[in-house]
Structure 1
């Protein structure tokens, strides 16, 4: 048993892609015989920088994931 002190960090929240949704999308891609694409924006805990993500589940069962930092537009 681990002692819990006042400096213990809380558990990190789950990211948008959880295992159940990932499995559902992968099975849908296989069953329908076409890629299933999921896109969104995420800000990781402790950060203010947004990232765009894209997950492509292919009919062969493979998954491609891309994560891109979204920089603010340059000031005029």
Structure 2
């Protein structure tokens, strides 16, 4: 029997899964750094945002990027 096609498929699925998880980790780290450095957040909302991002990493990071405080535009 030839198992090479199955091995290639398993390797591809593994690499895609690894890339997806690595992307989520990068998004979460970027969101947490932005939360920590954001001057617009007060001492009450900062821990709440951190909790949201850590409790639901993908959704929390997406919500932060969509609705979190934005940096001022530079001209």
Q: For this structure pair, what is the TM-score category when the shorter chain's length is used for normalisation?
A: 0.3 to 0.5
Give the structure with the higher percent helix. Answer: 2
Higher relative contact order (CA 8 A, sep 6+): 2
Larger radius of gyration: 2
TM superposition score normalised by structure 2: 0.32
Structure (1/2) with the larger strand percentage: 1
